[in-house]
Structure formats: structure tokens, C-alpha cells
Chains A and B, each alone.
Chain A
């Protein structure tokens, strides 16, 4: 037995190389993630949209600088979000909660009342919490697998009246913290909607079932989202968002960029205004 083992040991020198390659790849991926962590807060401070210009001064596409100029007129501020593949989910959840906080503290009684009602809707009879958790259980998810995550979103919504913009920022800036739990729960809510409406989505999933698609493209952290996930999450939360697309294409400056509404039918206000640039989402503010 010992000699056969030695043969095997020698024959695995190729395997040793493979292991090294594999470990090097993992180490490199980790190093990239670490760099991103150091360079970008999870949720940054709001700045003027014109702060994006330096990134594009040498860009050959004419639409970027022109688009940033347009955005600077249309929007007061832009909040950068860490580009680690989770940016859409993080931008949406942060903006959704921050909008409620800002309205509650705006001094406008009607707006505050509306925000309170919206938070209550999300907690209570709305889809996200109780109904969503029921959906997840009926889809076969075990409570233990999402309980701590749904609890964070629930707690954020129930505590919205005592939340300040600063405490919300702090909550979302802790690595592995509460904001990250809320962000991942929104991935799970996205999955819940897609899986409970398979006929609506299956024709878009080439070679995938809703289950395999969600396991690969929705639930793992760090996987970027596409239009399909955005629609699913908005419908699950029963909210609408507006997304500006800054992709470098030239456009008619008098008309502006196309702010694309998602699930905005019958709504006046978007729960979040977002900016898309290829591969990335940030938050926009009109005021």
C-alpha cells in the first residue's frame, strides 16, 4: 500500500501545481476585494454629480461628460456605493430607508405621515416582511437560513422614526454589519419573487430554471444584477424606482438622459432614484 501511495504522491505534482494556481486565483480575487474595501466605503458621502467628471475626462465616448453635466443640473447630489457586485441591492435598500428617514425629519407633517405609513406598510400588510417570509417558507427555504436577515430589515423599518441619516449611514458602513444583512435579504426577496412567478421569467432564462438562475445569479453575494432582478425586487417590495442610464452614448441634451421607470405605474414617487453606469449603481438625490 505504501508504494502505491508514493506513486500517487509523485503523480500528484501536477495536482500540486493546480492547487497553487487555484490558491493564487483565490488570493488574487481576495486582494481585489480588499482593495475595493479600502478604496470605497460601503455607502459613501453624498457629493455633487459633477464629482464623477474626472473619471471620464479621457473617455472617448462623448456621452459621459455631457451626461454628467446634465445630471449635475437635474440632481443635487450623488451618493457613491461600493462597487463589489452588491451595489444595486445596497443602493436600493439604503435609499429606500433614507428616503423614509428624511421625510420623517423634513418638518412636513404630510410627508412624515406618508413615510410612517409606508414603513408600516412594508412591515405589516405589505409583501416584504410577513408575506415574503411566508413565500420563502413555502418555497422551501428554512427559517433559520433567513431569519436573522429578515429581522434586520424589520428592525430597521420598525425603528425608522428614531433613525437619523447619520445612524443609517453608520449601520450600512459596518463590514458584515446590519446593512449587509438587509442587502442580502433583498437578494432573497428577489429570488422569492422570481421563484413564485416562474412563468413570467422562464422565457428570459436561457438554459436555466428559476431555481438554478436564482442560485447562481441572485442569491450569492457579489453577483451583479440585471434588469430582471431589479423588476423582481421592486415588485416584491411593491415599490417603484427610477434609474438614469449613463452609458456614454450621445444624447439630446435638451431632452436629457432617459430616466427609466421600474414598476412606477400608478405611482408618483420613486422609492429610490439611482444612477447606472456600466457595471455599477449609485444613489441620486433631487434635493
Chain B
């Protein structure tokens, strides 16, 4: 059974690692307008991460704040899904990751906003608005790349197929009673949202096959250690310093 603190860590880690990856686009985006858009995505995700991690730390009651949780945990202590760790790849891979994550987060947050636990509901209500825009943004780009040039169609198709196996983990039975929901029940509406974008993008939904798993219990991809090493390097080099 997942406890609420661990669940909050999972939500926070999903958002934190997604923010970390999205922010890697800074100064590398395909167009100046997209620089601004991608930075907004990263900032929304980072804001959600901070809210969830702060709350997780308080519930845990061991004096760990958002920074202690972000910078001083080791790889196996992170509870994020593997989807968010995947390298950015080209813009199509980033769009696919964003679409799949945002569609899930939007459904999840919308339900959590009605949770009996008021603080969780409050964070989720704010985050639901943000993720609704992320779904809109990622759908828009899925369609433009999928139904653009032959090259962009191929790249968008490849991206969807590459990322698809990592989406199953989002719906694993991993939620505390306070959440008041069954993650598996989100997959139907998720397929609808994602399917709409893929359809308009002239893409087909990949077959379900091998499914990544393990992130929620601390097993991650080979890329994750590098991401953490980079993210935590300055903080860990100055133990106890304030920033």
C-alpha cells in the first residue's frame, strides 16, 4: 500500500524530472517563440514539483524541505515514472513525452482536485489548469509534426512508438486512499485524449507490447543517474550551504 507521503514524492518527482528535461531545451529550441513556450512548461512543472515535495517533506516530519528531497536523495529513492527520464531526443520525442505526461497529469489532477484531503486537492486544482494548457500545446505540435512534411511525419511517428512503452507505468495501481482514485481507471480517458491528437496528426496508436516498469519503486533507466549527477552536483559540493 502506498502511503500519502510516498505518493506525493511520486507526483513531485514526475514533475521535477519533467521540468529538468524540458529546461534542457533552453537556448536550443527550434524557434524563439518555442523557447518561451518550453520554458513556461518547465516552470509549471517545477512549480508543481516544489508544491508536492514541500508537502511530502512536511508529512514525513524529518525536516526535509524541497531542496533536501530534490538534491540529497539518491537514484533509488526517486519515485518518478521512467517516462520523464527519457532523453529529450528531437523535438518530436519531447512533444510525445509532453503529450503523454500532460494528458495523464491533467486527468489525474482534475480528479485529485476533488480529493477529500484539502491540501492535496488545492495543489492539484492549480496544477490541473497548467496541465490543460500543456495538453493543448503538445496536441497542437503533435498534429503539426504528424501532418506536416514527410520527414516530420516519420519523426513524430517514431517518437510516439519510442515513448509509448513508457506510458503504461502511469496507470499502475499506485495511489493512497487519500487520493480517492484508481490510476488504472485513468487510462480510458487518457487514450481518448491522446487518440484524438494522434488521429488528427494522421498517426496510429502503437500496439501495446513491452511495458517499462519500476520507477515507482526506485528502479530507473540508465539515463537517470546522469540526470541526477548533473542536477545535484553544485548542491552536493557545498554541504550545508544556503543558496
Asked if A pairs with B, the answer is: no
